[in-house]
Amino acid sequence: MVRKELILMVRYPVNFIASFGQIFLIVAILSLGGRTFSANLDNPPPIGAPPTSGNPSGVVIYGFILFMFLSDTLWTIGYNVRHEQVQGTLEQLYLSPASKFASLVSRVANILLWTGLLTLAASGLMVLMIGRLPVENPWLGLYLLVMSLAGTFGIGFAFAALTLRIRETAQTMANLLQFVFLILCANFFPFSALPPVLLRISRLIPLSYSVDAFRSTLMNYPPGYPELAPISVEIVIVTLFGIGMPFLGYYLYRRAEDHARRSGSLSSF
């Protein structure tokens, strides 16, 4: 599979370059947009300077990392099932003796590799643009990242289940979910920026705690962080999310598959 990805990178160079270029441009647009609120734009701090209290580099970059994985997961795992349903290969998959779980897992590995690379590149660019990135408590940060990713993949499996049911509205739903999570999980800004109504909804989403715990830990808990709950509580929530969500997502996926097989909609447009 890695070889396949390498082959694709070489044979589709525009795709390869565009992925990185696109990330750079999105980051640049949001970063420059954020900088318009900076008090000393005419005398900006030198590149690489430590963040000031108004410089949200850690908040933005770490939230961005999790957003990248969530977005790719929704599309690569979730929407891809719909894509296979439309082009008729989902039925083929069922006719083969290959494990359905293995198929999902192979997509997970794909994301880890490709999105991981993109995320690293994008983070590097963001550091250049908006300031030094704090990296404290790396092992706990890594643990929280792994748990968050596991939970995110579980969301992907659950979304795949949804796409089998809702079919053609799956693309719309993927877009919607992507942006809903973007706001409610406050990937690009502190939770304090959210209106109270939205903040209440955020507290109901485990992924919010992932974002909050992950970036707070790596920023070494500046005043006010984490924002949603004490860190010990957030670690427990993230752990439960990381362990439970993949199983729940996979269970929902298999149920949706069985339903599709009963209703004959495996190949249905």
Partner 1 sequence: MTATSPTLKSNLSIVLASARMRLATISRYPGQLLMDIFIPIVFAAMPILLGRATAGPDAGENFAQNTGTSNYVAYMLIGSAAFTIVTYAFWHIAYWLRWEQETGTLEALYLSPTHRVWVAGGTALYSCLRSLFSASAAFLIGSKILGVNPFEGGVGLAFLFILSGLIPIYGLALLFGALVIKVKEANALINLMQWGVSFLMGIFFPIAMFPPLLRAIALLFPPTWMTNGVRSALLGLTYFFQEWYLDLAVLWAFALIAPLLGYWVFTRAETSIRRNEGVGQF
Partner 2 sequence: MTGTVRVENLSKTYQVRQRKGLFKSFRSTVEALKGVTLEVRPGEIFGLLGPNGAGKTTLIKILTTLLLPSSGEAWVNGFHVQRQENQVRASVGCMLMGERGLYWKLTGRENLEYFGALYHLSPQDRRQRALEILERIQLGEIADRTVETYSSGQKMKLAFGKALINDAPLLVLDEPTNTLDVPSASELRAVVRDLHAQGKTIIYTTHIMSEAETLCDRVAIIDHGQLLALGSIEELKDSLRRDQVTRIEGVIPSRAVAAVKRLPTVQQATRTSADSGDLLTIVTSDGHEFLPQIIEALTQTGATIKKIAPEEVTLEDVFIAKTGRTLAEDTRER
6's contact among partner 1, partner 2, none, with CB below 5 to 8 A by partner kind, is partner 2
Which of 135, 176, 201, 233 binds partner 1 (CB under 8 A)? It is 176
Partner from partner 1, partner 2, none binding residue 114, C-beta < 5-8 Å depending on class: none
Site for partner 2 in 202-241 (CB under 8 A): none
DSSP letters of 188-231?
Answer: SS-GGGS-HHHHHHHTT-HHHHHHHHHHHHHTT--TT-SSSS-H
Distance CA 25, CA 221 (A): 30
CB 76 within 8 A of CB 178: no
Residue 262 in contact with partner 2, rule: CB under 8 A: no
Residue 118 Cβ, how far from partner 1 at the closest point, in Å?
13
From the CB of 269, what's the least distance to partner 2, in Å?
Answer: 5
Which partner, partner 2, partner 1, none, binds residue 204 by CB below 5 to 8 Å per kind? none
Q: Quick one: 87 or 232, whose CB is closer to partner 2?
A: 87
If binding is defined by CB under 8 A, does position 139 make contact with partner 2?
no
- Asked if 7 interacts with partner 2 (CB under 8 A), we say yes
Between 19 and 239, whose beta carbon lies closer to partner 1? 19
Dihedral class, residue 190 (left if φ above 0, else alpha if ψ from -120 to 50, else beta): beta
Q: Which residue lies nearer to partner 1 by CB, 1 or 18? A: 18
How far is the CA of 66 from the CAs of 61, 72, 134, 151, 225, in angstroms?
A: 9, 10, 16, 11, 17
Binders of partner 2: how many residues, by CB under 8 A? 5
CA dihedral 230, 232, 237, 242 (to 10 degrees): 130
Touching partner 1, residues 38-67 (CB under 8 A): 38-39, 41, 54-56, 59-60
Q: Is the dihedral of CA 223, 225, 231, 233 positive or negative?
A: positive
Q: Cβ of residue 14: shortest distance to partner 1, in angstroms? A: 4
C-alpha to C-alpha distance for 134 and 48, rounded to whole angstroms:
11
Burial 149-159 (b: 16+ CB within 10 A, else e): bbbbbbbbbbb
Q: Is 14 in the site for partner 2 (CB under 8 A)?
A: no
The dihedrals phi and psi of 266, each to the nearest 5 degrees, come to -60, -35
φ/ψ of 53, rounded to 5, equals -65, -25
Asked if 193 is part of the footprint of partner 2 (rule: CB under 8 A), the reply reads no
Q: Is residue 201 part of the contact set for partner 1 (CB under 8 A)? A: no
Q: Would you state the structure tokens that stand for residue 183, as one six-digit string? A: 């706001």
Instruction: Provide the binding-site residues for partner 1, judged by CB under 8 A.
Output: 12, 14-15, 17-19, 21-22, 25-26, 28-30, 32-39, 41, 54-56, 59-60, 168-169, 172-173, 175-176, 179-180, 182-183, 186, 188-190, 192-194
Instruction: Provide the binding-site residues for partner 2, judged by CB under 8 A.
Output: 6-7, 10-11, 269
